[in-house]
């Protein structure tokens, strides 16, 4: 966290992006001031008793960047790199994302600074519950609704919901989304991030022969492996995938269902690098492959000033949040690479979260077909709007997405007489 000229800046990347937008005259000075700061930042430090009997203090954050469009919305990640800057940047991204796809939510994000691999299930449950106890006052079905993000899953959401309901003293399934279906979760939420991105690709490539489209997917977790499978099933040629251990490559295309069975079908998740039927490549090689489509689906900041010049993909779909560093983007744009930004490409997750929240509040349960058809309509609608604006005004998809999102927020702020 830094102070510049008396101004508190918790998120340098948000500020840089907003300053760029301001330079293009898309924002007045007051509007810029309004969006530059998160509305609320909470840091919590709480103890848990570890399995060996020792006590550890766990640090977490919840940043509620904006409530202009409605209650806060955004996931909670468990990761060792979590800090207030990262969570603020992600909360800023959620603010733009919910606006772009026209959901009645503001933007928020949570994070707990741990490496989950170092904790047992019992300890993770204590961490999930402890975190909810600490943030209880500022979250709720009409205040701020969390969800899964990096390294969190339906089981963790179930623990968090249980803890929330214990304190609230009443059933409150709409407090959190991404729950197991048995606990009020929505059909299709587990695959919704990848599914949304896939619908965009189907629209983008609707006139193309799929077997001629080569794809590299970075990240083989919930988003990446599901996306790889959807593409494989639809006939695309997925030539490379990777996880934190490294990647695999085959010019003829990889057998994705086989790899999913190998990595996720075991009692303990396996690493791709131990699979021995394909050529091994490292993550940097994967990012620089000469493919039609590159899908970063893991963490943020993987395409940097240093490796951007080597990227050869024709198009990049950001399934992760913020995989392209803002400073690296101009290099890619100059090379003519089309970029579908994360706030559009990965919005399927929060769209189905919204459906889940709606079902919880109304006591309904929608079928998978209904969820997916509504998701498709919403995300393809947003994609077409972005495409149209980008083509009309000669903007990148990212700029066009920001423009639409910010316009909606400012309009609402004016209606509410906030500015």
Q: How far apart are CA 393 and CA 388, in angstroms?
A: 9
Smallest gap, in angstroms, from Cβ of residue 394 to ligand GLU? 28
Nearer to ligand GLU, 238 or 302 (CB): 302
Nearer to ligand GLU, 17 or 31 (CB): 17
Site for ligand GLU in 313-372 (CB under 6 A): 321, 346, 349-350, 353
109 included as an active-site residue: yes
Exactly one of 73, 97, 109, 191 is catalytic; which is it?
109
Smallest gap, in angstroms, from Cβ of residue 146 to ligand GLU? 7
Smallest gap, in angstroms, from Cβ of residue 418 to ligand GLU? 23
* Closest residue to ligand GLU using C-beta atoms: 75
Candidates 70-78, 128-136, 213-221, 283-291 — which segment interacts with ligand GLU by CB under 6 A? 70-78
151 binds ligand GLU (CB under 6 A): no
160 binds ligand GLU (CB under 6 A): no
177 binds ligand GLU (CB under 6 A): yes
Query: Tokens in use for 224?
Result: 């990446």
Q: How far apart are CA 124 and CA 163, in angstroms?
A: 13
73 binds ligand GLU (CB under 6 A): yes
Smallest gap, in angstroms, from Cβ of residue 246 to ligand GLU? 25
Site for ligand GLU in 9-68 (CB under 6 A): none
Count the Cβ atoms, other than its own, within 10 Å of residue 179.
Answer: 24
149 binds ligand GLU (CB under 6 A): yes
Nearer to ligand GLU, 108 or 289 (CB): 108
196 binds ligand GLU (CB under 6 A): no
Select from 34, 124, 147, 215 the one that contacts ligand GLU (CB under 6 A).
Answer: 147
Nearer to ligand GLU, 222 or 288 (CB): 222
Nearer to ligand GLU, 90 or 316 (CB): 90
Q: How far apart are CA 119 and CA 13, in angstroms?
A: 31
Task: Count residues near ligand GLU (CB under 6 A).
Answer: 11
Nearer to ligand GLU, 184 or 247 (CB): 184
Interface contacts to ligand GLU, rule CB under 6 A: 73-75, 147, 149, 177, 321, 346, 349-350, 353
Active-site residue set: 109
């Amino acid at each position: 966290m830094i102070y510049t000229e008396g101004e508190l800046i918790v998120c340098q990347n948000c500020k840089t992006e907003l300053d760029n937008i301001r330079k293009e005259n898309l924002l007045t000075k007051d509007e810029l001031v309004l969006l530059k700061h998160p509305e609320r930042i909470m840091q919590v430090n709480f103890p848990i008793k570890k399995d060996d009997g020792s006590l550890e203090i766990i640090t977490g954050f919840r940043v509620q960047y904006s409530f202009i469009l409605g209650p806060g919305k955004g996931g909670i990640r468990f990761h060792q790199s979590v800090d207030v800057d990262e969570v603020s940047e992600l909360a800023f991204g959620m603010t733009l994302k919910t606006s772009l796809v026209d959901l009645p939510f503001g933007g928020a994000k949570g994070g707990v600074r741990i490496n989950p691999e170092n904790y047992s299930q019992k300890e993770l449950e204590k961490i999930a519950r402890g975190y909810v106890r600490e943030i209880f006052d500022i979250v709720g079905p009409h205040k701020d609704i969390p969800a899964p993000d990096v390294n969190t899953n339906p089981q963790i959401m179930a623990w968090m919901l249980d803890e929330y309901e214990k304190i609230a003293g009443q059933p409150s399934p709409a407090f959190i989304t991404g729950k197991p279906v048995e606990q009020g979760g929505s059909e299709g939420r587990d695959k919704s991030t990848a599914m949304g991105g896939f619908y965009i690709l189907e629209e983008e490539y609707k006139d193309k022969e799929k077997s001629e489209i080569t794809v590299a997917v970075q990240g083989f977790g919930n988003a990446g492996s599901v996306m790889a499978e959807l593409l494989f099933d639809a006939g695309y040629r997925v030539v490379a995938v990777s996880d934190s251990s490294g990647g695999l490559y085959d010019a003829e295309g990889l057998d994705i269902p086989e790899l999913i069975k190998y990595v996720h079908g075991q009692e303990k998740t396996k690493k791709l690098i131990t699979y021995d039927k394909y050529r091994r490549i490292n993550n940097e090689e994967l990012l620089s492959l000469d493919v039609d489509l590159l899908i970063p689906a893991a963490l943020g900041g993987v395409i940097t000033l240093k490796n951007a010049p080597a990227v050869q993909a024709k198009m990049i779909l950001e399934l992760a949040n913020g995989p392209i560093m803002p400073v690296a983007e101009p290099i890619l744009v100059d090379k003519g690479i089309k970029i579908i930004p994360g706030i559009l490409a990965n919005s399927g997750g929060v769209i189905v979260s919204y459906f889940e929240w709606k079902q919880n509040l109304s006591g309904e349960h929608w079928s998978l077909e209904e969820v997916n058809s509504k998701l498709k309509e919403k995300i393809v609608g947003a994609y077409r709007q972005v495409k149209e604006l980008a083509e009309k005004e000669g903007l990148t998809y990212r700029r066009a997405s920001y423009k639409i999102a910010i316009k909606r927020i400012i309009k609402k702020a004016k209606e509410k007489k906030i500015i």
